Structure 1
Amino acid sequence: MDRRTDRKIGIKDVSREAGVALSTVSHVLNGTAPISTEVRNRVLEAARRLGYLAKRQQKGAIASLSTVYLAVPPGNLPHNDINLVSWTLLTALSRECERRGTKVVAHAGAPELNAAEILAGAQAANAEGIILVYDDNPKLLRALAASGLAVILLNGEDPTMSVDTVAPANRFAARLATQWLLSRGHRRILHLTWRGRSTIMRRLDGFRDAYAEQNLPADLGRVLFAEGYEPDHARTALKRFIHQHGGLDGHTAVFCAADNLAIGALAELQEHGFQIPADIAVVGFDGVAPGDLTVPSLTTVRVPLDALAVSTLQALEQRLSLTGLDHPTCRIELGCRLIERDSANFTLRT
C-alpha cells in the first residue's frame, strides 16, 4: 500500500516524484522563474498524479500557464470601430493574461489560418497551449487536435468535440430575447441576420425555438438575410424588404443577430418614417455597441465577453494542470443577459 495515501501530500513529495529540487517545484507552481518546458511539464505531471495540483489550484495558488499562442483570422482582427466585438474580446483576453503574468504570442501568417503554421509558431514560442478565436473550420480543428498541444476554441463551435470550446450560449440567448418579444404581444417578428459562422446560426436556431416552444406557427417568425454584419448591410436588406412588401408586411418587431445590424435597422426604419418602438420594436445582440447612445436606446442581449476571456484561460489551465490531454474535451457556454432599453419598450395590445 502506498503510504502517501495516509498523509497529506506536500511539495517535497512532488519534488521527489519529479526528480527535481524543491526550489524548482516552487518556481513552476508559482511562476517565479523561467523553467524549461520539459522540466515544467514533468513537475506538473507529478503534481497532478499525486493530487497536489488539484489542491493548489482549488486555492487559486498555481500559475500553470506562462505562454499562450493566439491565432485569430486576420479578417476578425479589430481594424475599425465597427468590429467592436473582436476589439472587446481580444482586449479582455490580453488584460486577463497580463493580470496572470501570462505571455501572449500572436500568430502572424497567411490570411487563412493554417494548422502547420500555427503549430510551428506555437512550438517556436514554447507555448503551453493555443487559443484559437472564431475559426471553427473542421479541418483546422482536427489538425490542431491531433498535435498533442492543448487547444481552446474561443467564441466558436466544434460539433466534433475535437477541442475544448468556450462560447456564449447563443441559442439559449436568442431564444430568451425572442420569448421576451413574444411575451410582450409580438407575433410576427423579423429575424435580421447574415450567413455567418455556426455561432450565428445558433442564434437563428434559438429564434425558431421560441416559436416552437409556444406552439406558434413557424412562418410567423420570418428570417431576413443581410450580406454581412455591418450597419449598412442591415440598411440595404431592410430597404429591399420594405420596397418589396410596401412596408413591414405586418411585422411588429425586428430581432437582429448583432448590434451592428440593429444600429443599421434603427436608422433605416426611422428614415422610412416608422416610430420605434410604437410601430416596430428593435432588439440587438452582443451588448458592446453604444446602445445607450442610440436614439432610441437599444434593447440588446449582452454577451459576457470579459467572462469569456477568463473562462478560456481557466479551461486551458484545467486542461494542462488537472485533466490532462487525454481527458474528454469539454464545451463551456456562458449565459447572456437581456438589457431592456427604449427600442423595444412597448407592449402590444392583444
Structure 2
Amino acid sequence: MAVRKKVGIKDISREAGVAISTVSHVLNGTAPISAEVRARVVDAARRLGYLAERQAKATITALDTVVLAVPDDAIPENEINLFSWTVLNGLTRECERRGVRLVPLTGNGSLTARKIVETAQAESADGVLLLNDDRREVLHGICNAGIPAVLINGEDQEMKIDSVTPGNRFAAQLATNWLISQGHRTILHLTWEGRTTIRRRRDGFIDAFKANDLPLADARVLHAGGYEPKLGEKAIARWLAESGGLDGVTAIFCAADNLALGAMRALHAAGIRIPENVSVMGFDGVALGELVTPPLTTVYVPLNQMGPEALHLLEQRVLANTTERAAHRLELGCKLVIRRSVATLGG
C-alpha cells in the first residue's frame, strides 16, 4: 500500500510559483499579499490537499479582504448603540490580529444587495459580513450573486446565508425562568417591534410561562416605539398612567438594557422603588447597566465574540469552495448577571 506523501509549504510554493515566505504569509495572515498571488497560493494548497488537512486544525487564514455592510446608526459610539459598537469593536480587533482588510460600507435603506455585491467585486473581497441587516431582498441578492456571506445579529429564515446571533429565545426563557424562581408570577415584558432577533426574546418569555404552567394572561407584553432609553421611559410612563400603577406586576423584563434604563427612569419619576416595589431586568449586558442605581440585573450577551465567530464562519465558507455546503446558523450562549435590581419575593 502506497504511503501518501505529506504536503508542505515547499510543495505549495513550487505549485503556485511563489516564494516559501509568501506561502507562509498567505496561510497565516501575517502580511498583506495581493489578491492575485493569494488566490494562486490558496488554489495550489487546495489542489494539493493541504487546505483540507490544515482546515480541520484551524490553522489557515484564508481571508484577505472582507466587506462589512453596516447601518449608519451602528457606527458612532454612544449610549444608544453600545450593542452594535461592541460587536464591531470585537470584529475590528480580530481582523487586525489576522491581517484581514475590512472594507466598511455604510448606509441604511440605501444598502441594497446590488451595492454590496458591486463593492465586494470592486474590492476583490473574499466575502461579506452583514450587521443587523436581515432584509429578505438583501439576503436573496447576495446569495444569488454567489458571494460568501455571514449575517451578524440577524436571522436568514430561509437558511441560505450563514449567521451568528445570540441564543435570544433560550436566553429570554432562562431569564424569565429565573424571575419565576424568585417568586415573580406577573411579569411585564417591555419590547419593541424589532427584527426577528427581538421577537425571539418575546417568544422565550412566553415559553417560560408555558413551561412553568403559569397563566399566559400574567405574561404581559408592552411595546415601546423603539429600543432607545427615552422610548422605554415613555412607554412605562404611559403604561403606569393607563394602569393606575403597577397593576399587579412585580417584575419588568426588558428586551434590551436600553429599554431597562428608560424604564427605571420612568419608575423613579413615579416614585416607584426598585426593587422594593418592582424588579427590573435587562438583556444585552452593556456596561451602563453597572452604573445605574440600583445596578441592573441582565442577560449577558457575548458581544465581543460575535465578530470573530462570524469571521471564522466566513473563512470556512471560503475554504469549502462549494455551493453544496449547507448554511450554518451559530447561536452563542448567554448567561445571567445578577445584580440588585431584582428582589426575591416570599413564598
Smaller-chain TM-score range?
Answer: over 0.9
Decide which moves more: 126-135 or 49-58. Answer: 49-58
Q: In percent, how many aligned pairs have the same letter? A: 53
- Contact 2:29–2:61 (Cα < 8 Å) also in 1: yes
Supply the distance in 2 between the matched residues of 1:42 and 1:211 (Cα, whole angstroms). 56
The corresponding residue for 1:147 is 145
The corresponding residue for 2:185 is 187
Supply the distance in 2 between the matched residues of 1:323 and 1:247 (Cα, whole angstroms). 59
Q: CA deviation at 1:113?
A: 1.3
Q: Is 2:228 aligned against 1:234?
A: no
Q: CA deviation at 1:32?
A: 5.0
Q: Is 2:20 aligned against 1:20?
A: no
Residues 274-310 of structure 1, C-alpha deviations (whole Å, 9 max, x = no match)? 1211211100011114212110000000110111111
Are residues 110 and 216 of structure 1, via their aligned partners in 2, closer, same or farther at CA, if it must alter by over 3 Å? closer
Q: CA deviation at 1:258?
A: 0.5
Q: Is 2:65 aligned against 1:64?
A: no
- Contact 1:78–1:86 (Cα < 8 Å) also in 2: no
- Contact 2:30–2:99 (Cα < 8 Å) also in 1: no
Are residues 110 and 311 of structure 1, via their aligned partners in 2, closer, same or farther at CA, if it must alter by over 3 Å? closer
Q: Is 2:345 aligned against 1:348?
A: yes
For 1:227, give the aligned amino acid: G
Residues 310-344 of structure 1, C-alpha deviations (whole Å, 9 max, x = no match)? 11111111111246443111000100111000001
Supply the distance in 2 between the matched residues of 1:160 and 1:216 (Cα, whole angstroms). 33
Decide which moves more: 40-49 or 182-191. Answer: 40-49
Supply the distance in 1 between the matched residues of 2:43 and 2:172 (Cα, whole angstroms). 41
Unaligned stretches of 5+ residues in structure 2:
none
For 1:83, give the aligned amino acid: N
Supply the distance in 2 between the matched residues of 1:109 and 1:349 (Cα, whole angstroms). 51
- Contact 1:284–1:300 (Cα < 8 Å) also in 2: yes
**Equivalent residue of 1:162, what SS?**
coil
- Contact 2:66–2:126 (Cα < 8 Å) also in 1: yes
Supply the distance in 2 between the matched residues of 1:299 and 1:32 (Cα, whole angstroms). 42
For 1:154-233, what aligned pairs fall within 5 Å after superposition? 154-233=152-231
The corresponding residue for 1:265 is 263
Give the one of 30, 33, 41 matched to 2:39: 41
- Contact 2:165–2:331 (Cα < 8 Å) also in 1: yes
Supply the distance in 2 between the matched residues of 1:325 and 1:44 (Cα, whole angstroms). 18
Are residues 297 and 45 of structure 1, via their aligned partners in 2, closer, same or farther at CA, if it must alter by over 3 Å? same
Q: CA deviation at 1:37?
A: 3.3
Q: What is the number of residues matched between the two proteins?
A: 346
The corresponding residue for 1:305 is 303
- Contact 1:259–1:289 (Cα < 8 Å) also in 2: no
Supply the distance in 2 between the matched residues of 1:304 and 1:31 (Cα, whole angstroms). 25
Supply the distance in 2 between the matched residues of 1:170 and 1:48 (Cα, whole angstroms). 37
Q: CA deviation at 1:9?
A: 2.9
Unaligned stretches of 5+ residues in structure 1:
none
- Contact 2:136–2:156 (Cα < 8 Å) also in 1: yes
Are residues 170 and 91 of structure 1, via their aligned partners in 2, closer, same or farther at CA, if it must alter by over 3 Å? same
For 1:62, give the aligned amino acid: I
**Equivalent residue of 2:129, what SS?**
strand
Supply the distance in 1 between the matched residues of 2:31 and 2:206 (Cα, whole angstroms). 53
- Contact 2:70–2:132 (Cα < 8 Å) also in 1: yes
Supply the distance in 2 between the matched residues of 1:179 and 1:54 (Cα, whole angstroms). 44
Q: CA RMSD for the aligned pairs?
A: 2.1
For 1:112-127, what aligned pairs fall within 5 Å after superposition? 112-127=110-125
- Contact 1:73–1:112 (Cα < 8 Å) also in 2: no
- Contact 2:29–2:98 (Cα < 8 Å) also in 1: no
